[in-house]
Amino acid sequence: MDNLTHSLAGAVLGQMGLKRKTGLAMPTLIIAANIPDIDAVAVLLGGHQHLALRRGITHGPIAMLILPLLLWAIMVWFDRWQTRRGKRPEKRLPLHKGWLLALAYIGTLSHPALDWLNSYGIRFLEPFSSQWFYGDTIFIIDIWIWAALIAGVWFSLRRERKGYGKWQRPAWISFTAICAYIFANGLITGHAEAVAYERLQASDYTSAKRPALLVVANPVPIAFWQREILWRDRINFGQEDYSLLTDFRINRKVDYINYPNDMAKHAAKLDEDMRAYLFWSRMPYARVLPKGKNTEVVMRDQRFSNPLAEDRFTATTLVPDE
């Protein structure tokens, strides 16, 4: 998910009452909720190298053990440093090291839990396994989750500042509503994939001779009741529309997939950037075109075939003709 969502998730956890457990609870929760994204420095590498590095080692089990400990140590040091300089706020609660460490773990673990929900992918087991996991439940930026998180934090803070009792209640309502929303979206995705798989199997688009059918119900912005149905077998691929409000029909022409093929595989061997792209890609397809004395290989991913996103997720390389 985006970092605003992660930050607001940390803030909601604090407003649910956790911020009263120890000093520095709220900053610890918010920073912890974002800390696995330290791998964002990989974008400095240029090209598509960052795709192969993001959501990997800093989101895996070793990081989940070490990152909260590092954050906890920094926060303890910061509290002591402020105390020595006489700048520790008088209203700050005493530091409870046990609770502070627990909150560092809670905030950090919330990050991969949210990242898993979308179709971008996450490698939960890195470095022990580089397998990608996909929740296909929530779009990577979900305005409905934003709205629920902002409302929960704002109303909770407002009640707290006015001295009302049970100021944690709005945050708890927000948390509960978001959990229900995620669960409902999971059911929508499961139903969309089941219906699409059944109808694709029965259609002329796929063949019993090509049983390896992959169907992905890709979440879309804003319209949580809709999904892009992305599908492929070993030869063909296509995209359909699904909505809870209408019946699902297969009504788009089939494209002919140009991947995997020998030229695309050869391009990956020659180009490190292409290898990184293919490592990240879940549903790759290629266009192979002659270009002078070379062959141009253009690789894309079905998940990001929308014209607004495809330029950011396109890998191109030239393969010399032999």
> What is the per-residue pLDDT across 43-97, written as a single tens digit (0 to 9) for each?
877 778 888 889 999 999 999 999 999 999 999 999 999 999 999 999 999 999 9
Per-residue pLDDT tens digits for 240-299: 889 988 877 776 655 555 555 667 777 778 888 888 888 898 888 888 877 878 888 888
Per-residue pLDDT tens digits for 90-145: 999 999 999 999 999 999 999 999 999 999 999 999 999 999 999 999 999 999 99
- The confidence score (pLDDT) of residue 221 equals 93
Nearest 10 degrees: CA dihedral of 278, 274, 113, 98?
Answer: 130
Are the C-beta atoms of 9 and 149 separated by less than 8 Å? yes
Using CA atoms, how far apart are residues 180 and 186, in angstroms rounded to an integer?
Answer: 10
Using CA atoms, how far apart are residues 104 and 21, in angstroms rounded to an integer?
Answer: 12
- The confidence score (pLDDT) of residue 261 equals 64
Stated pTM of the model: 0.90
Using CA atoms, how far apart are residues 272 and 274, in angstroms rounded to an integer?
Answer: 5
> In the numeric block, which tokens belong to residue 137?
């439940």
Using CA atoms, how far apart are residues 112 and 124, in angstroms rounded to an integer?
Answer: 8
Are the C-beta atoms of 78 and 24 separated by less than 8 Å? yes
Strands (E), the chain: 214-219, 226-232, 236-243, 255-256, 284-291, 294-301, 315-320
- The confidence score (pLDDT) of residue 319 equals 80
Are the C-beta atoms of 147 and 222 separated by less than 8 Å? no
CB contact set of 44 (below 8 Å; sequence gap of 6+): none
pLDDT above 80 for 25: yes
Query: What average pLDDT does range 155-174 have in this prediction?
Result: 95
CB contact set of 161 (below 8 Å; sequence gap of 6+): none
Tally the residues of the chain. Answer: 322
